[in-house]
Structure 1
Amino acid sequence: MRIGSAKESYAADTALFDSTTQRVWIGLLAAALCAFPFVASEYWLYLACLVAINIASTTGLNLLTGYTGLVSLGQAAFMGLGAYTVAILQTRLGSPFVVNLLAGGGVAMLAGVLVGLPSLRVKGLYLAIATIAAGVIAHFMFSHFSSLTGGGSGLTVPPARFFGIELDDSFKLYWVIVPVTVLMLLGAVNLFRTRIGRAFIAIRDRDISAEVLGISLLHYKLLSFAISSFYAGVAGGLFAYFFRAVTPESFPLLMSIFFLAAVIVGGMGSILGSILGAVFMTLVPELLKLMVGWLPVSVFGGNAALILSPIRTIVFGSMIVLFLIFEPHGLAEVWRRIRRLFHLWPFRT
């Protein structure tokens, strides 16, 4: 008999899903994800693929910033390295889809280790500036190594082929992008059931104490940068296959800020927060765009969409600021509070 949250065995304590209710909900979610592309329009399939790519990259950044405590504004640069690697391999060698994705993640991972070296001496704002510098260097390479990257015009990516099927539309890409993202999420969840994940958290909470306990700061900080960059590189490869074009302007500093905001809004140090934050940051601007489009044509002389489009950005920014003021622990904490509410019902106060 279980009392409270106590587990009866080590296997039960280490289980990824520790209750029948969780397994049922996961099964329903998997069924919904499988059924979604058969009932969704092209527009919603596009959004689903974009959300999945953003979730993958946000999860990588959360591993670095939320779990290890190392601030980075270079996530877009690592995505760009992965995207360009995939584009070059696909256009010049025609190598398999999976090989290209892994190569994109590997190149980004090596760059992440190099960028992570300053984390051994600096942290906080200074580390963020160092990662911005890495982004500037990456943008310079994308723009000026024309023989390899195509310069300012970038590269056009042929459709990927998977088991002989050409992935040339959102419906087909959905069946690749979403499963890859799910595998990356499972990898991230399991990472923190290992010594590596616990070392990351120890470094975040108090790095000096972690070093006294025998945790190598050099090893684990660079490992955190490597894993985070690998996630970004794979997400960038999916981005290249999805949009079928890669240019230097595809990965600006604003994109790195987007992912950092997704981590903060969703909840730092939470895989669920990575999912919720990426979904929020991706869908809210689209919903605001739809709201502007629903306004009567006669409003503002028929130019409602043109006039109110800048307001969409202002409203979106205001929502983020207000959210951070009133719920600094992110959407993940809101979800946990809702779960506790239902657990206590009808005896809630």
Structure 2
Amino acid sequence: MADHIRPAGVFDTTYEQDIALNRTRTDKFLQYGGLIALLLIPLLTSRSFLGLDILPDYVVVTINTIAIFVIAAQGLNILIGYTGQISLGHAAFMAVGAYSGALLAKGFAIPIGESMLQIGPFSFWIALPLAALFTGLVGLLFGLPSLRVKGFYLAMATLAAQFIIPWIIEHPLQPYTNAPEILQGIPQPTIGPLVFARPIEMYYIIVPLSILLMLASRNIMRTRVGRAFISIRDNDLAAELLGINVFWYKLQSFFLSALYAGIAGALIAFERNAITTETFSLETSITLLAMLVIGGAGYPKAALFGVAFVRLLTDVIIPAIGPTFNSTLTALMPFVDGTNIGPSLQPIIFGVALVIFLIFEPRGLAYRWEVLRIAWKIRPFAN
């Protein structure tokens, strides 16, 4: 009789089983099935070599954008969600990655006395990690104030990056960056004769890289460094009393966060083949912060849920209800020009959604997902 009783939950007998990403056959099926489905999506569009035209072409572009912003938001999650440090200049670090990656791929010359030092051009596979490392070093520089300040004052220190970095790009480095005008002609990634020139081809670089970086950040949290991050977030004074070098680990968090932002920025440059400083504005930094709040800072899937929700809201829901909202508003209040309010609909709904999450679901979508997932696993005994 006992052999026919379905056990509730998952029973682990070793530590390796307890921390495994795939703990059951269902987990393996869903994760591997999801990966296969992601790889097949571009093949279902009209621009694939199959020409099936089952999905619209913009689906690939949308997923590319989501994957890039997942990388950026995951970097912010390392800093805010895991280490408890605030940053309002994340988009500026994305700009560093974008322009450094583009310049390394194009090649540039630095005047040294009467001669010129030529740097590059490098292939995408070299330019991307170099740009990421350089951005991480810039993040270290702006993480230095975390030694003396925290909270609001640290937010103001990181906000300075959002003004200083674009100014440097647009003025001292203008001969190289062409800022604030568009920097074009960025070489595309290649593997032998294969050129990744279109979004459908860049998809197979961006999406796998996004998945790998999400898994990497999750595994970092299982290491000594990750546990130190969480200790600092919970109580930095207690962490210091336990022998943790708080300042050193804060700098590591800033480095990793900026490194992720640099990768995301470089991918934007290579995917769009053109960049401008307007892409990396303060609004982008605040949007990334909002994505993290909605997703649930401190949870591994926070970036994925937050970015997907915001992109779904701004790219699908708001454009769908916009015309109806304008016509309804004009019918109810003839003295109001609905066409003037329509363009403001996106920030209004976005702000309302953010407030709703802060009030009713402050832990974010990732927390709610974990609650539902655990309840499903321990059925039928879930409350």
Query: Shorter chain as normaliser: what TM range?
Result: over 0.9
Q: Specify whether residues 205 and 312 from structure 1 end up closer, same or farther in structure 2 by C-alpha distance, changes over 3 A only.
A: same
Distance 2:59 2:186 in 1: 23
Match status 1:27 vs 2:32: yes
Residue ranges of structure 1 left out of the alignment (5+ in a row): none
Root mean square deviation, CA, Å:
2.3
Distance 1:321 1:297 in 2: 23
Q: Specify whether residues 338 and 157 from structure 1 end up closer, same or farther in structure 2 by C-alpha distance, changes over 3 A only.
A: farther
Distance 2:225 2:374 in 1: 30
1:81 to partner: Cα distance = 0.3
1:9 is aligned to 14
Instruction: Pick the structure with more helix per residue.
Output: 1
2:175 is aligned to 147
1:110 is aligned to 137
Instruction: Normalising by structure 2, report the TM-score.
Output: 0.85
* Residues 1-349 of structure 1 aligned to structure 2 (within 5 Å): 7-39=12-44, 40-92=55-107, 93-144=120-171, 145-163=173-191, 164-292=193-321, 295=324, 307-343=341-377, 345-346=379-380, 348-349=382-383
Distance 2:232 2:381 in 1: 40
Distance 2:287 2:30 in 1: 30
Distance 2:90 2:321 in 1: 31
Q: Specify whether residues 3 and 333 from structure 1 end up closer, same or farther in structure 2 by C-alpha distance, changes over 3 A only.
A: closer
1:41 to partner: Cα distance = 2.0
SS in 1 for 2:195: strand
Letter in 2 for 1:70: Q
Letter in 2 for 1:103: L
Q: What is the percent sequence identity of the aligned residues?
A: 37
User: Is the Cα–Cα contact under 8 Å of residues 157 and 240 in structure 1 kept in the other structure?
Assistant: no
SS in 2 for 1:152: coil
1:16 to partner: Cα distance = 2.8
Q: Specify whether residues 6 and 288 from structure 1 end up closer, same or farther in structure 2 by C-alpha distance, changes over 3 A only.
A: closer
Number of aligned positions between the proteins: 348
Q: Specify whether residues 37 and 305 from structure 1 end up closer, same or farther in structure 2 by C-alpha distance, changes over 3 A only.
A: farther
1:7 to partner: Cα distance = 2.7
Letter in 2 for 1:86: G
Larger Rg over CA atoms: 2
2:51 is aligned to none
1:288 to partner: Cα distance = 2.9
